[in-house]
Structure 1
């Protein structure tokens, strides 16, 4: 699946919209004058011209949590093979992507590692509530470099600070990134956050935290199981108890601007073929109904 093409897409749309306005205004000078007046009083008046170019766009653009990147690349190829519809993706922290959508980024779907950010967009009328699905679950793990011999059992009051031996604890930013929020919640619940918070090195997303440990720049880190599974240079030391943090649920929703064909993507991502791929990458299915009508 192609990587982010937003800049070229926006430039192309702006150029095409400009040509449409120029062609429309060439017919009559007074019509052009009225159009300029309308543009001055209503800046959003150019939206119909942009919308008119929408059918020419053959791909769907998905904004997805960084932890989904490996699995979603394969799922995207399978979707294209099944439907003929191409998919491009932008990966980052769910919080960053939600803010970009709020700012007008041209995403067709949002695949978040935290349902709270889907809630955030829904409250602002930026997604289609009927399209919401809880698609996947993940697990939080403590990792170390692959050649580390450390043995440590995660339990209330466990000596994480001592295990760091003066090194840093790699986590995603707990103030804005879901993986970091889950990590802080777990360590707080287990009674050790206050002992290690000043030792944390904060990544802009979970893959950045993974990289710190993979490169040997941090002796320990907290990431999702799926991230650890994707990186041969790290190993799992132990798994955090499920009740130590909120459920790690990945939610999917179409944006308010998504074309009709985007509904195929929701159907595919929640279907058996895609789920089998996700499971192979370490994700699990959420319990109960997926749809959130």
Structure 2
């Protein structure tokens, strides 16, 4: 059961962040049904059309209950970034009251704090970065990143490190310098009602395991099989948690149970990174319990 605050202003935008499997989507739908509004996606994986079950996108029945935007609208073979999302969410801020929900902290930070207007990374630079990370890991990239940027990024997150390397390589300017030149935000935090769903580790880990079993029962493996012919681990859509493990199973590289266990562990690790981000970057958000 979702904790539904009784004191929300029905005229002000709502932001709902929280770790995966914590019940954010149910809360967003409940607020929209009670107070009105449009549920807007802020999850980097749920934008892709080729993963519905595995990314826990709202079901067709849930989408029919209240208006939803920016869910499953991007082809699986397309590039998509926080910049793309910010440009797409901008016009939605001027219409019906948005209820923006997701687990991608960077999306919320860009929305409420602004996003540096960094040029697109050329394909050849990304290919060079992919090769360096593949052959030498994160350490192969860290040495070329400026000290100020290194002091700000999560060095344990390979994609964040690679992004910083690509920016420096492509522009000759550190990511931190670009961030310091950030334009004003589209939606300052004080103009919204920011809610942060908090979940205890043990409760969440158990829920993650049960939810992945439910995903398998609902067709996640069949969804992976449909993605197998065009599978490319470098695509943003391929970063969906659990996708690499299910693809590996379909290729005969691990058993179904091994894939299930590995995907569950990967989801728990992702939830841990999310909680770390939220603690560091969302101190001003209103905490809510995951369940009553």
TM-score of the two chains, using structure 1 as the length reference: 0.30
- State the structure with more CA Rg: 1
Higher strand share: 1
Which structure has more RCO (C-alpha within 8 Å, separation ≥ 6)?
A: 2
